[in-house]
Amino acid sequence: MVRSFTLLCLLVLALPSFALTELTASVDKNPVLQGEYFVLSIGADDTVQGSQPDTAALLKDFIVGPTSVSSQTSIINGSVTRKTVWKTELMSRKSGVFQIPAFELNDIKSQPFKLEVKAREAQSSNNKDIFIKTSLTPNTLYVQQAGVYNVKLYLAKDLSEGSLTTPELENAQISQLGKQVESNEIIEGKRYLVVSRDYLVQPQKSGEFTIEAPAFNGRIRQNYRSIAVSAVGEDTQLTVKPIVDNYQGNWLPSELVTLHEEFQPDNMSVEVGTPITRTITLTAVGITKEQLPEIKLTKLDGIKSYPDQAENKNVVRDGRIISQRIESFALLPQKPGNYTLPEVKIPWFNTVVNKVEFATLPAKQITVTGSALTTQAPIVSNTTTNSDNQAQTSSDSATPTIITQVEPVSLWITVLGYALWVMTLITLIIFRVRNKNKVLINKEEKPQDKTKMNIKDALSNLKIAEKQSDLKDFNQALNTFSKIKCNCEQATSSHLINLYQNDELTAQVHNLQKSLYSQGAGNVDLNKIISLLQQPVKAKRGAKQTLETLY
């Protein structure tokens, strides 16, 4: 047995080497249907490694799928045959007669030939087991305006495998929005599995364009057999309008742009040193979150402003993309007075009425009063008796007044008070340095006290939103509470659920999100959520509470 195998190997090695002499090209069917995949085979009469025919010319008229290669060597009656075959899946979006070009490999060329693609009949749901529907909202766009292109694949048979291509548009950015959604739909008595995908379409050039619809290629199970199927959607004609002349500012083509602001506390009269949180929300329809401009506030003498990191997000509603930019500013009054926060104005182009408009926030008035530590009663004459002083002090406590002119004695008292305060501060600093090791050991106690204070404020915001039955404000306050409770700036309500491990809290938060983001209204008890959040977190002994990976 071994001797026979050895002789066979020697015989094969002794055979003369072959060279490529012929290259052929063929398809598995001709004619083919529009939107139907077929297989192009290119064969060589020799074993070829490290190279393959160039099929780039096919991209002009066809969708080119993956290419597979196989090699075969056979010996029949002492005759050796070698062959290499490349197979490529192709599909034509249009009907007509097309030229399959000649392919070349090692100076050997194949013969070109004609391929006929017949038009597919109009797709109808009553006689098709598989078809594609597409839509674009809105159907007319401006340059850089964001449209939502929806693709729905309808399948009446069980799918074993398949692939769906992406839409194509010249001079445009196209990206998929989120994950595909699967549902069931009954059309004229036939049940279909519906696979829906949303794509963000942003044209970068004006003119008339065609969105080439996606194509599907796969296999379905029918009568215990696997059958190849394919489908293609109808192309969409798109008119892209140019940017209007003499437009000033960031180009924002939209159907609606709004500005909204909130103050915490909402009282427009505060004392010196009391921080005010100003939250401004910019909302736009048909604009991506990356296009929303930065909100800049005018600097005011006497009030310092500390901006927080902006939050950008977007969602698809009713076939339109809605984007938001949320920016928070900490305003810290430095001295008493009446201040005017200037109006905030952002230009945008209204694509409905085709004109420039402005999203504005009106100017706001803020009154800053002197704090209790700096407000002093007026100083009377030295000849005033003690009884007069007591009467004057009693009168001042009933009706406080702000000193506009300070007597020399009062000035010295103020200077002395500040000196004592500075000395006390220096003493505390020296004490902290000397007890550095002790502070390091107990370093977790300080942030905990601060966290408790912040949690108290967050719970207060939750109660305010609950009294107003404002689900949106309550959800925003809940996210703020999550960041403080989880000690992470990126934490959300989902991490809060993981932290508490409370089934009732989980159900109530899910009902809140359902009421906000889905068509069905969830039965949510806001007061119950607040009550559950005030309960202690029951962590497992020896286990560390960590957040899930944020994306």
At 419, the pLDDT band (50, 70, 90 cuts) reads low
Q: List the beta strands (DSSP E) in 288-389.
A: 303-307, 311-317, 320-333, 337-341, 344-350, 355-361, 364-369
pLDDT at 126: 40
pLDDT at 142: 95
pLDDT at 207: 94
Sequence-distant (6+) residues with CB within 8 A of 288 are 146, 200, 202, 314, 321, 323
pLDDT at 433: 45
The tally of CA atoms less than 13 A away on the side-chain side of residue 64 is 14
Is the pLDDT at 542 greater than 80, yes or no?
Answer: no
Query: Of residues 440 and 53, which shows the higher confidence score?
Result: 53
C-alpha of 307 from chain center: 22
Average pLDDT, stretch 242-252? 89
Q: Which of 145-149, 402-406, 513-517 has the lowest mean pLDDT?
A: 402-406
Sequence-distant (6+) residues with CB within 8 A of 163 are 216, 217, 218
What span, in angstroms and rounded, lies between the C-alpha atoms of 7 and 19?
24
What span, in angstroms and rounded, lies between the C-alpha atoms of 488 and 467?
28
Domains of the chain with bracketed CATH: 17-118 (2.60.40), 130-241 (2.60.40), 253-369 (2.60.40), 445-533 (no CATH)
Query: For residues 142 and 253, is the Cβ–Cβ distance under 8 A?
Result: yes
Q: Which of 69-73, 381-385, 386-390 has the lowest mean pLDDT?
A: 381-385
Percentage of the residues of the chain whose pLDDT score is greater than 70:
76
Query: What single-letter amino acid sits at 172?
Result: A
Structural tokens at position 257: 């742009």
Q: What is the b/e burial string over 364-390, where b = at least 16 CB atoms within 10 angstroms of the residue's CB? A: eebebbbeeebbbeebeeeeeeeeeee
pLDDT at 434: 53
Query: Of residues 47 and 213, which shows the higher confidence score?
Result: 213
What span, in angstroms and rounded, lies between the C-alpha atoms of 115 and 47?
28
What span, in angstroms and rounded, lies between the C-alpha atoms of 473 and 407?
50
Query: Of residues 9 and 342, which shows the higher confidence score?
Result: 342
Mean confidence (pLDDT) of the chain = 78
Query: For residues 91 and 33, is the Cβ–Cβ distance under 8 A?
Result: no
Q: CA angle 168-174-179, nearest 5°?
A: 110
Is the pLDDT at 427 greater than 70, yes or no?
Answer: no
At 429, the pLDDT band (50, 70, 90 cuts) reads low
CA distances from 376 to 11, 117, 270 (A): 115, 94, 18
Q: What does 297-314 look like in DSSP terms, one character per residue? A: ---BTTEEEEEPPPEEEE
Q: How many residues does the chain have?
A: 551
Query: What single-letter amino acid sits at 51?
Result: S
3-class DSSP state of 91 = strand
Average pLDDT, stretch 378-385? 38
At 44, the pLDDT band (50, 70, 90 cuts) reads confident
pLDDT digits over 185-200, tens only?
Answer: 988 888 999 999 999 9
